[in-house]
Chain A
Amino acid sequence: MSAVAAERRTYLVLGFATTHQALDAERVLLECGVTAKLIPAPIELGGALCGIALRVPAEKSEEAENCLSRASLPAEATVRMEDY
């Protein structure tokens, strides 16, 4: 159990105001070569209880945020989280 926990990856989770923006961000990140996964928005993002969020591997955080910033699609909120 502890071995599994030690292997858990850390991600940056990005929350957006609308599904449209989250999907647009997924598209933009793909064009930047950053693989992102759409997930149910975690409660840690605050308020976004039934929305969707994007998560990217922690090591890709800076690249992802720069990519979204260039596309004028910054996340409304972010949180670093381990895999569930």
Chain B
Amino acid sequence: MSRPEGPHSNMTYLDHAATSWPKPAPVVDSVARALVELGGNPGRGAHALALSTSRAVFEARRTCSELLGVADSRSLLFQPSCTVACNVMLKGTLRRGDRVVVGSMEHNAVVRPLARLKAEGLKVEIVRADSAGLIDPADVERVVRSGPTRALICQHASNVTGTIQPLGDLADIAHENGAILLVDGAQAAGHLSVDIDSIRPDGYAASGHKGMLGPPGIGLLYLSPELEVAELIQGGTGGGSSASSEMPSHRPDRYEAGSGNTPGMTGLGAAAGLLAEKGDSFREHSSDLMRQLHEGVLDIAGFRVLGPPPEEPRVPLLSIVHKTIEPDRIAFLLDRDYSVAARAGLHCAAWAHESVGSLAGGAVRLSVGWTTQAKDVDRALCALREIVS
């Protein structure tokens, strides 16, 4: 696909882990259609325009549910972002005195809500990842069994190392020990074929604009039907409960107070439809590019790659550290001299960098996506060679 015309059309964009760009045409069209044609407020009113908008949101939720293996679409909630979804999942579930077990690779979307809850009396046990960023289920089981555990909390994939965590094993451990499994899937949804029905989490938060290829400002939260979760926001829901001062107990309304982001929701629905059709080919394409990128970086003297070795699966991102040149300098030079977009620093995940030994200076993260081509990877590798030579 050719990039859209604009000031950045010649850029080599390797920051898909931050957000996907450009967006697929069906997503752009859906967002535009929502703004132009679907001007009603979904769930508010029964006039023709409101109903058309409501139906579009309803279908978007169903399409996203089908893609993610959610049997009852009422359990899949639209949220303003994955971070908000993580906050609802954690703060709506955990209480003072509860004990939770969490992996050490978590993003601040989980770390910071947990810090707030810890200050209010939550007991937090951290299971350290290995040098590749992998959480060992045996370590988790040992800690979970060492005391009554309300929740096991783990990301699906790391935004620093790309490591894919063993969620199936973790679900078994949690459920066999009377705990719930809460998952931050920000870097997994779309990049991996996520099947909620198989993973069996009790809560799963997803970003809409990264691997899912949707617009910014939209995320998803799956809550298992059996899980009681307090809503964080109270307000209008538009449904048949306006006479009550209390929030309705029904999903999705309970967790979607306030007028929703219709362009975001329908745009994400369009993206989910595209992924249902082409997701496998996108993932195969990204996997090929990652192999090229990973092996190419290892051929350049002085670089260390964080995370799993090339032969092991990962989501399509690669964080690298040079032995002498700081990550921020490398990212600056990539951008200024080569028009290569990469992200340096700690990636909002100090815990993860600490786990894999890169907390002091962070790393440069390169991440590919559905529009990245082999020549883009070649261009980035050539630039890296020149920068460190």
* Cross-chain pairs A/B with CB under 8 angstroms, 9 sampled: A18-B237, A19-B58, A20-B251, A40-B46, A47-B240, A48-B239, A48-B241, A49-B243, A52-B54
Of B242, B244, B252, the contact of A18 (CB 8 Å cutoff)? B252
B interface residue numbers (CB < 8 A to A): 42-46, 51, 54-55, 58, 61, 73-74, 237-244, 248, 250-253
Instruction: Assess the A51–B240 pair: CB atoms within 8 A.
Output: yes
Find B240's partner among A23, A27, A38, A76 (CB 8 Å cutoff): A76
Say yes or no for A57: interface residue by CB 8 A criterion.
no
Decide if the interface of chain A is mainly helix, strand, loop or mixed. mixed
Q: Mark A47-62, 1 if CB is under 8 A from B, else 0.
A: 1111111000000000
- With A40-B45, A50-B44, A52-B46 given, is the CB distance from A20 to B241 under 8 Å? no
Residues of A bordering B, CB below 8 Å:
15-21, 23-24, 27, 38-41, 45, 47-53, 76
| Chain B contact residues: helix, strand, loop or mixed | loop
B240 in contact with A48 (CB, 8 Å): yes
Contact residues in A for B248 (Cβ distance below 8 Å)? 17-18
* B58: A residues at CB distance < 8 A: 19-20, 23-24, 27
Residues on A with C-beta less than 8 A from B43 are 18-19, 52
Known: A17-B241, A19-B43, A49-B240. 6 other contacts (CB 8 A): A18-B240, A23-B55, A40-B46, A47-B243, A50-B238, A52-B54
Give the residue of B51, B54, B73, B250 whose beta carbon is less than 8 angstroms from that of A17: B250
Query: Known interface pairs A50-B242, A51-B239. Does A19 touch B42 (Cβ–Cβ under 8 Å)?
Result: yes
Smallest distance from the beta carbon of A7 to chain B beta carbons, Å? 24
Q: Would A18 and B250 count as touching, CB distance under 8 A?
A: yes
Give the distance in Å from the alpha carbon of A77 to the alpha carbon of B239 in the complex: 14
Complex: how many Å from CA A53 to CA B239?
Answer: 10
The docked-state distance in angstroms from the alpha carbon of A83 to that of B342 is 63
Q: What CA separation (Å) do A16 and B240 show in the bound complex?
A: 7
With A20-B58, A49-B243, A51-B240 given, is the CB distance from A38 to B253 under 8 Å? no
Residues on B with C-beta less than 8 A from A50 are: 44-45, 238-240, 242
Structural contact, B55 and A20, CB atoms closer than 8 A: no
List residues of chain B with CB within 8 A of the CB of A24: 58
B45 and A19 within 8 A (CB): no
Cross-chain contact of A20 among B74, B243, B244 (Cβ < 8 A): B74
Bound Cα distance from A50 to B238, whole angstroms: 6
CA distance A48 to B253 in the complex (A): 14
CB-defined contacts of A76 to chain B, threshold 8 Å: 240
How far is it, in angstroms, between the C-alpha of A47 and the C-alpha of B245 when the chains are bound?
12
Q: Which B residues touch A27, using CB under 8 A?
A: 58
Q: Which residue of B lies closest to A19 (CB)?
A: B43
B residues within 8 A CB of A53?
46
Residues of A within 8 A of B239 (CB): 17-19, 48, 50-51
